């Protein structure tokens, strides 16, 4: 059952429309990632859900009740949501305990209950020994956990996260990704998570929503998004890929500019005109001689760059028609620059893209 629904949601600032008719439904207890480059409208969408910005058109419904529409907006404090901010937004004049307790005090719970709930959430986030510290006395990772605890303690209907890990260093970021997923598995709040980091989205999300230019490009499970991208944008944004453009051969094949015919195991070509094929870097087989096993999806090219990266070698190969293909090969396949190589694009790894 859809719990959170966005229906034709639109937001403009003057002549600039940043969210353009977004439709999305999120089931109860699911973690959804809004993923996209900066300026794609994902943060504005999140702030629309939170009620910090009013919508120009469309609706937001939670459990069937409209909370945002063009005519009225329930203020953020009336939505029973919580949010984790990019800056953590910990109040510097309150201790860890006071920060976490603030939301409960607003709900006029008895002191004993407040203390009990705060202590419970602080131990779940391993912050109990730090409860009397001020935010300025905590490390980045600890501040992040306080921010999580403060958001979780009020048992929100919906939890919103706005690029929560972007201020952490690389190691801590990876650790916190799993921590967020663990807490989600434990508490099962309906969660909307905004990020521009695809690895973060892959680790945490039940559903990834790729946004571009104020619209949803594709929504689906991490596997869907990675293995079955529907547009060139999604293919490029998630994981490294080669986009080879050409014209339609038939429903499942594309004729490249140098005459290379690529049969595609999945996806569909555009009905007419230009179309494209996406092949991931590591799915292309590279060899110095013409592969015997395959007779289609094979072409010859010249190595223009080869880099040794320890675990593998990274190649740039230019093929007939002027396109450059990037691919990786095992360390023992060492072909010097300028030499001829054969590339095999396995049909089951080629995905035809209509747009």
Q: How many angstroms separate the Cα of 236 from the Cα of each of 36, 168, 198, 241?
A: 11, 25, 11, 6
**DSSP code of residue 270:** -
Q: Does 136 bind another protein (CB under 8 A)?
A: yes
By CB under 8 A, how many residues form the interface with another protein? 41
Least Å from the CB of residue 89 to another protein: 4
Q: Does 124 bind another protein (CB under 8 A)?
A: no
Dist CA 167 CA 86 (whole Å): 7
Q: Does 26 bind another protein (CB under 8 A)?
A: no
Q: Binding string to another protein for residues 77 to 116, with x set by CB under 8 A, is what?
A: xxxxxxx-xxx-xxxxx--------xxx-xxxx-------
Q: For tokens 């939505």, name the residue.
A: 79
The DSSP annotation for 53-82 comes to S--SEEEEEETTEEEE-SS-B--GGGS-EE
Which of residues 87 and 126 has its CB atom nearest to another protein in the complex? 87
Which of residues 101 and 277 has its CB atom nearest to another protein in the complex? 101
Which of residues 3 and 342 has its CB atom nearest to another protein in the complex? 3
Least Å from the CB of residue 127 to another protein: 17
Least Å from the CB of residue 136 to another protein: 5
Q: Binding string to another protein for residues 212 to 241, with x set by CB under 8 A, is what?
A: ------------------------------
Among 172, 187, 197, 314, binds another protein (CB under 8 A): 187
Q: For tokens 């952490």, name the residue.
A: 168
- In the chain, which ranges are continuous DSSP H helix? 42-50, 96-106, 111-124, 140-152, 170-187, 198-204, 222-227, 232-237
Least Å from the CB of residue 161 to another protein: 12
Which of residues 15 and 75 has its CB atom nearest to another protein in the complex? 75
Q: Does 13 bind another protein (CB under 8 A)?
A: no
Q: Does 2 bind another protein (CB under 8 A)?
A: no
Q: Does 52 bind another protein (CB under 8 A)?
A: yes
Bridge partners of residue 30, in order along the sequence: none
Q: Which stretch binds another protein (CB under 8 A): 169-177, 184-192, 276-284, 315-323?
A: 184-192
Question: Cβ-count burial of 122 within 10 angstroms (0-12 exposed, 13-18 middle, 19+ buried)?
Answer: buried
Least Å from the CB of residue 57 to another protein: 19
Q: Does 29 bind another protein (CB under 8 A)?
A: yes
Among 11, 42, 145, 150, binds another protein (CB under 8 A): 150
Whether residue 304 contacts residue 324, with contact meaning beta carbons closer than 8 Å, is answered with yes
Question: Cβ-count burial of 58 within 10 angstroms (0-12 exposed, 13-18 middle, 19+ buried)?
Answer: buried
Measure the CA angle with vertex 47, ends 4 and 114; round to 5°. 75
Dist CA 191 CA 84 (whole Å): 11
Binding site for another protein (CB under 8 A): 28-29, 50, 52, 75-83, 85-87, 89-93, 102-104, 106-109, 134, 136-137, 150-151, 154-157, 160, 187-189
């Amino acid at each position: 059952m859809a719990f959170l629904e966005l229906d034709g949601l639109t937001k403009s600032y003057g002549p600039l429309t940043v969210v353009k008719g977004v439709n999305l439904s999120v089931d109860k207890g699911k973690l959804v990632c809004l993923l996209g480059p900066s300026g794609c409208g994902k943060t504005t969408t999140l702030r629309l859900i939170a009620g910090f910005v009013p919508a120009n058109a469309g609706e937001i419904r939670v459990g069937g009740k409209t909370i945002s529409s063009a005519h009225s907006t329930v203020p953020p404090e009336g939505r029973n949501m919580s949010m984790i901010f990019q800056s953590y937004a910990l109040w510097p004049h309150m201790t860890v305990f006071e920060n976490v307790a603030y939301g409960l005090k607003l709900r006029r719970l008895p002191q004993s209950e407040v203390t009990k709930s705060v202590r419970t959430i602080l131990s779940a986030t391993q912050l109990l020994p730090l409860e009397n510290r001020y935010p300025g006395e905590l490390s980045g990772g600890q501040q992040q956990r306080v921010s999580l605890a403060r958001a979780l303690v009020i048992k929100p209907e919906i939890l919103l996260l706005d690029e929560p890990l972007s201020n952490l260093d690389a190691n801590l970021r990876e650790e916190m990704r799993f921590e967020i997923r663990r807490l989600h598995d434990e508490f099962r709040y309906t969660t909307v998570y905004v990020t521009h980091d695809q690895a973060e989205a892959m680790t945490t999300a039940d559903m990834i929503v790729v946004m571009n230019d104020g619209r949803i490009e594709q929504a689906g499970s991490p596997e869907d998004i990675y293995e079955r991208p529907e547009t060139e944008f999604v293919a490029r944004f998630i994981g490294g890929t080669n986009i080879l453009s050409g014209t339609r051969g038939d429903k499942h094949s594309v004729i490249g500019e140098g005459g290379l015919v690529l049969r595609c195991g999945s996806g569909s070509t555009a009905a007419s005109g230009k179309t494209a094929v996406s092949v991931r870097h590591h799915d292309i087989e590279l060899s110095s001689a013409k592969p015997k096993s395959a007779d289609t999806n094979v072409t010859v090219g010249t190595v223009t760059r080869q880099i040794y990266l320890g675990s593998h070698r990274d190649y740039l190969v230019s093929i007939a028609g002027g396109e450059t293909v990037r691919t990786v090969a095992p360390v023992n396949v060492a072909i010097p620059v300028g030499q001829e190589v054969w590339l095999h694009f396995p049909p089951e790894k080629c995905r035809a893209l209509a747009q």
